[in-house]
Structure 1
Amino acid sequence: MVSDSMVPVMTRGDFVVVENSLFEFDPESVSVGDIVVYSAHWTNAGENKIINQDLSINGRTLNYYELNSRESMIYNLPIISSYSPTTPVIHRVIDTWTDSEGNKYYITKGDNNPTYDPELIRAEQVKQRVVELNDEPFIIPYLGHISIILKENLIIFVILLVIWMYYDYRKEKVAKNN
């Protein structure tokens, strides 16, 4: 975990045990309540225009937005059909929606976030699902800090590695000359 969006279930630095989609589970089988890792696009939903169409999902009336011919927005969330750069996000599925063509989408939210994520998630965006033991996510606290430190300080580690290699090289060269 690299953020606190899933507190109190998970905190920054927790190592989360997951199963991989297509190998260990079918992404179409994800259900409400599952915690998944998905590829997020995080588009800017504030620039969308509303067209006069309301839809009902689980008894709630929602506005339908249109972004352009390749994207649409429902549940105040965009449906992204193009593959743009993504970032992995780990959040809980809070709802599902199926469009008129039978395409299933997931609505996700971090447990510690005030609102749902800013896009509908297609099944093919789901990369992993958190393994649960006794209805609790399988987490190893603090182990993920190693990965976070390495990622956030990669340049420092590379510089230190180069300095250490140079020092080791010089030490061997001096030893050979003596």
Structure 2
Amino acid sequence: MEIDFKEVASYIVILVIVLIAAQHLNVVVSGSMEPAFYRGDIVLVEKADFLGIHEFDPKDVKVGDVVVYDAAWYNQPVIHRVINIVDINGTTMYVIKGDNNGSPDPYYVKADQITEKVVTFGDNLVIIPKVGYLSLWLRGL
């Protein structure tokens, strides 16, 4: 049996592309951002630090951006929208809220807590509808 190195190399390239793409997709687990996106949708994100590559700077986040951050009040990353930016004792703090929630998230967020930002195309968030339901089912969510 002869090994075709071009074929093996092409499989490796495809695998690397799939693994990188998978790291830039997040499954939405709640309805807190409806109607922007729904539970079971997948959002495309850029990362503050992906293997040493800084795809965006959390300090450049603006009001209206949808971000993923490490919340002090929840044990999983949260995907919500920045609704205000304030300066508290010289530190920039972000007020973040789910579009479908009645009030902002309970704590201010520092830039170093923001790990990802949902990608937009024009004014539209990049979303793949409903494809994440399989992942939610497999994880028992």
- SS of aligned partner of 1:104: strand
How much does 1:135 deviate? 0.6
**Aligned partner letter, 1:127:** T
Paired position in structure 2 for 1:20? 47
Paired position in structure 2 for 1:93? 82
**Aligned partner letter, 1:2:** V
How much does 1:86 deviate? 3.6
- Tell me which of 44, 54, 65 is aligned to 1:34: 65
How much does 1:144 deviate? 1.2
Aligned residues: 110
Paired position in structure 2 for 1:67? none
Q: Root-mean-square deviation (CA), in Å? A: 1.3
TM alignment of 1:37-48, pairs within 5 A:
37-42=68-73
Unaligned runs of 5+ in 2: 1-27
CA distance in 1, matches of 2:60, 2:109: 13
CA distance in 1, matches of 2:57, 2:114: 9
CA distance in 1, matches of 2:64, 2:48: 17
Paired position in structure 2 for 1:168? none
How much does 1:30 deviate? 0.4
With the length of structure 1 as denominator, give the TM-score of the two structures: 0.59
- Tell me which of 104, 110, 132 is aligned to 1:122: 110
- Please give the per-residue CA displacement for 1:16-65, whole angstroms capped at 9, x wherever unaligned: 000001420001000100000001111xxxxxxxxxxxxxxxxxxxxxxx
CA distance in 2, matches of 1:41, 1:150: 26
CA contact 1:109–1:115 (8 Å) conserved in 2: yes
Percent identity over the alignment is 46
Q: What stretches of structure 1 move > 4 A for 4+ residues in a row? A: none
Q: Does 1:148 align with 2:136?
A: yes
CA distance in 2, matches of 1:143, 1:20: 21
Q: Does 1:10 align with 2:37?
A: yes
How much does 1:146 deviate? 1.8
Higher strand residue share: 1
With the length of structure 2 as denominator, give the TM-score of the two structures: 0.74
Unaligned runs of 5+ in 1: 43-84, 154-178
CA distance in 1, matches of 2:122, 2:81: 17
